[in-house]
Amino acid sequence: MRPTLLNPLFAPVTSLTGIGPKLSIALTRLLRGGGSGSGIEQAVVGDLLFHLPSGLIDRRNQPTIMDAIEGTLSTIKVRVDRHQPAPRGNHRVPYRIYVHDESGEMALVYFRGQSRWLETQYPVGETRFVSGKLEWFNGRANMIHPDYVVSEENFDELPLVEPVYPLVSGVSLKIMHRSIATALQTLPQLPEWIDPSLLAKHHWPSVENALDQVHHPRDDLDISPHSTAWKRLAFDELLAGQLALALVRRKMKKSAGKSWQGDGSKQTKIVDALPFALTGAQQRSVAEILDDMATPDRMLRLLQGDVGSGKTIVALLACAAAIEAGGQTALMAPTEILARQHFATIQPLAETANIRIAVLTGREKGKSREAIYEQLANAEIDLIIGTHALFQTNVVFKNLALGIVDEQHRFGVHQRLALASKGGGADILVMTATPIPRTLVLTFFGDMDVSKLDEKPAERLPIQTNALSMDRLDELIERVRGAVARGEKVYWLCPLVEDSEELPITSAESRYQTLEQLMGQNVGLVHGRMKSVDKDAAMLDFKEGRTRVLVATTVIEVGVDVPDATIMVIEHAERFGLAQLHQLRGRVGRGAQSSTCLLLYKSPLGAIAQDRIKIMRETEDGFRIAEEDLKLRGEGEILGTRQSGTPGFQIAQMEHHAELLEMARDNARLILHEDSELTGPHGDALLHLLYLHSKDEAVRLLRAG
């Protein structure tokens, strides 16, 4: 199906000369985030082309020997005076070549230098340009292993400006340059898919020129996300994404929805059974959802609400309405812990309202699983709560009215489609706890209708957030002990499950051991590598108070609800992103007691970690935190890693390209409006774009009609 023109770009990197299986593994790790055995497919030529520079090596500085600044890159014009080869058999003494210019003398130093090669490179009496870092030893200038040496005639061969790329071990910069250069040679001439008027308006180059420009920069501007070349490439990526989302949405909308309108009987019973009143935002969101479900169009709605804003109950009320109207409903959570927790919270409420409810995860096996399948097929279950087990083909509903996906952005478009296809025209509600800024909503969800829970349940006390250095661990442990003695509950978060040789970090397992020695039976442990039964047991022990300190990894990041937990300790807080810290902190402050979040860090703190902790202390507003997160990530905190901070993108960076995203969305709309099946010549070019950015799935939807 993929246009043959693109084949060279989808060939494995090993198809390029000079790239063997070993290098391919390293490149795959770099470009796709997976090594051998990770199940990730080998990197392809296109991945190399879209691996954009993160900086420049600048050799334009051409000082004299005496003016060269120690340790900075300099390109110096010198005359070769004499060779001083290393004594035979002694590799510790280097080969030295003495050179001079009008300002003074310098030695070029080669360890294990090949005399024959050096003699041809540096004929005595001739002029050469050498480029490298100059250093001073004992009052003498040295350049150790110059990066380049060229004659005057060949000066053009010296790259005065070279791009730098994010690398991994096994892929040096030289290898990267060579690989990208070879990859560029295989680039076919692609049809232009961007509207000519857009191209002209923004002065965007063609794809070929854009790639050439970013990989052969002349100055910093060429590798900036604000260059016309980079913007063009980012726009391509965003346009492909927006087109794909629009096609998915169209497909979903096409399967005609049904009108589901309840009589309110079950909803009333649930609301009456709640120990609290709904917030205004909850009431408004429920009303929006019910209105949407009542129309014969299919609902595609996003329920956005910060941690603790009370999405679960909104979901349950929407289900109740659908059930009143005679439909079935499904609530899907990303982890088993969450699915079970939802089940536990919802079950008593469902019972009061006569809703038949069941849970389905990987754990239900054999006969009980078969029984659930059968009851779903016969509409004997009204509400099924589960993990992605719900996507499986054996799961057949008699009459699915509403599918709800919780904590969404962990699921991809595929899964959304799978759920949607379960129920003909079932309404879809996607809930997200991570308050994502508007720009990201667009990238992940395209044009969905949005309901917002922008008000927290009343009576929530603010969470006191403090940062303290690891040196004060003993003090902290005392404090936790005191809290436990008063009957409080404490989460203790660690970044890793087990100790690792590479990272000097206390793992959850060893922290558990230390705390257990100090506090005994009060301490529990939960992490992602435990069996799910054991995870549940640990969660339940904590919830019901049999343990009072729960040492955990980020498995508890999303959704876990133990309202009487009051202290959240986050160890190595410097290793977590802002959004994650916010999610984790949201596990406390859910009940009537005041809560504390303690960010334990290893000093000295980097600038970005400092900023993050400051923001965490300043605000609990998830939307503000999400915006700040985006800004901070824009500063490219970990050098040498992929620059694009925006997950799911290779080129586009939301902090720089938000405008492009809006443009891409509008453009995608216009395109599908004018040529809904992408059959014209422009449509054909756009198909190339979709395939180029691996939106094969979306093209299939198009073809399926």
Q: Which residues bind ligand ADP (CB under 6 A)?
A: 276, 278-279, 282, 305, 307-313, 433, 457, 559, 561, 563, 590
**Least distance (Å) from Mg ion to the CB of residue 433?**
5
CA distance 267 to 269: 5
Give the residue nearest to ligand ADP (CB): 310
Nearer to ligand ADP, 99 or 314 (CB): 314
Check binding of 435 to Mg ion (CB under 5 A).
no
6-14, 50-58, 556-564, 656-664 -> range binding Mg ion (CB under 5 A): 556-564
Nearer to ligand ADP, 299 or 338 (CB): 338
Sign of CA pseudo-dihedral 42, 46, 50, 54: positive
**Least distance (Å) from ligand ADP to the CB of residue 275?**
8
**Least distance (Å) from Mg ion to the CB of residue 453?**
11
Nearer to ligand ADP, 450 or 518 (CB): 450
Give the residue nearest to Mg ion (CB): 559
- Kindly provide the residue ranges of all beta strands, DSSP E only, lying in 504-623, ordered along the sequence: 523-526, 549-552, 565-571, 595-601
**Least distance (Å) from ligand ADP to the CB of residue 280?**
9
34 binds, among Mg ion, ligand ADP, none (CB under 5 to 8 A by kind): none
* CA distances (Å), origin 131, targets 135, 175, 282: 13, 19, 66
111 binds, among Mg ion, ligand ADP, none (CB under 5 to 8 A by kind): none
CA distance 528 to 33: 20
Nearer to ligand ADP, 282 or 361 (CB): 282
Number of CB atoms found within 10 A of residue 666's CB: 11
Number of CB atoms found within 10 A of residue 214's CB: 22
- Give the dihedral of Cα atoms 312, 318, 320, 324; nearest 10 deg: 180
CA distance 490 to 465: 14
**Least distance (Å) from Mg ion to the CB of residue 557?**
11
Contact 685, 191 (CB under 8 A): yes
Q: Which residues are paired to 571 by β-bridges?
A: 600
**Least distance (Å) from Mg ion to the CB of residue 432?**
10
147-155, 214-222, 289-297, 554-562 -> range binding Mg ion (CB under 5 A): 554-562
Q: List alpha helices for 52-154, DSSP H.
A: 115-121
495 binds, among Mg ion, ligand ADP, none (CB under 5 to 8 A by kind): none
**Least distance (Å) from ligand ADP to the CB of residue 555?**
16
The amino acid occupying position 456 is K
Nearer to ligand ADP, 9 or 303 (CB): 303
**Least distance (Å) from Mg ion to the CB of residue 694?**
31
308 binds, among Mg ion, ligand ADP, none (CB under 5 to 8 A by kind): ligand ADP
310 binds, among Mg ion, ligand ADP, none (CB under 5 to 8 A by kind): ligand ADP
Nearer to ligand ADP, 459 or 501 (CB): 459
Q: Which residues are paired to 386 by β-bridges?
A: 332, 360
Copy the structure tokens of residue 97.
Answer: 């070549």
Nearer to ligand ADP, 46 or 310 (CB): 310
Nearer to ligand ADP, 164 or 433 (CB): 433
561 binds, among Mg ion, ligand ADP, none (CB under 5 to 8 A by kind): ligand ADP
- What is residue 203's three-state secondary structure? coil
Copy the structure tokens of residue 475.
Answer: 């003090």
Check binding of 559 to Mg ion (CB under 5 A).
yes
443 binds, among Mg ion, ligand ADP, none (CB under 5 to 8 A by kind): none
**Least distance (Å) from Mg ion to the CB of residue 558?**
7
Nearer to ligand ADP, 418 or 431 (CB): 431
349 binds, among Mg ion, ligand ADP, none (CB under 5 to 8 A by kind): none
* CA distances (Å), origin 226, targets 232, 647, 652, 668: 10, 19, 11, 22
End-to-end CA distance of the chain: 16
Check binding of 334 to Mg ion (CB under 5 A).
no
Nearer to ligand ADP, 213 or 335 (CB): 335
Check binding of 586 to Mg ion (CB under 5 A).
no
Which residues does 437 contact at the CB level (< 8 Å), separation at least 6?
Answer: 623, 626, 627, 630, 654
Nearer to ligand ADP, 433 or 613 (CB): 433
CA distance 398 to 382: 10
CA distance 484 to 474: 15
The per-residue DSSP string of 317-349 comes to: HHHHHHHHTT-EEEEE-SSHHHHHHHHHHHHHH
Which spans of this chain sit near Mg ion (rule: CB under 5 A)?
Answer: 559
